[in-house]
Amino acid sequence: MTRDGILSLAGRLPDFVVVGAAKAGTSSLARYLSLHPHIHMSRPKEPNFFNDAAHYGRWNRGILWYRSQFRSAKAVCGEASPGYAAWPARPRVAERMGATLPAAKLIYLVRQPLDRLRSHYLMQVRQGRFEGSFDAFTSAPGTADAQCASRYGTQLQHFLRFYPLERILIVESADLATRRDQAMATIFRYLGVDDSFRSVGFTEEYNTNADRMFPDARGVRLLRSAPMMLLQWALPRRAFWKVRRLVLRPFAGTPPPATLSPGVEASLRAEYRREVALVRELSGLPLPSLDRE
Q: Is residue 29 part of a domain?
A: yes
Provide the residue type at 160 as one letter: L
56: CATH: 3.40.50.300
185, burial (CB in 10 Å: exposed 0-12, middle 13-18, buried 19+): middle
Alpha carbons 112 and 290: distance in angstroms, whole number: 4
The pLDDT tens digits for 163-214 are: 999 999 999 999 999 999 999 999 999 999 999 999 999 988 776 544 567 7
Query: Given the DSSP bridges, would you call strands 105-110 and 39-41 parallel, antiparallel or unpaired?
Result: unpaired
Q: Is the CB of residue 28 less than 8 Å from the CB of residue 206?
A: yes
Alpha carbons 196 and 244: distance in angstroms, whole number: 39
Query: What pLDDT does 293 receive?
Result: 62
pTM: 0.87
Q: Is residue 47 part of a domain?
A: yes
Q: Is residue 56 part of a domain?
A: yes
Residue 282's pLDDT band, with cuts at 50, 70 and 90, is very high
Q: Is residue 224 part of a domain?
A: no
Q: What is the mean pLDDT of residues 15-37?
A: 96
Alpha carbons 139 and 93: distance in angstroms, whole number: 22
Q: Is residue 183 part of a domain?
A: yes
Q: What is the tally of structural domains in the chain?
A: 1
Range of the domain at 17: 3-214+254-291
How many residues are there in the chain?
A: 293
Q: Is residue 193 part of a domain?
A: yes
Q: Is residue 220 part of a domain?
A: no
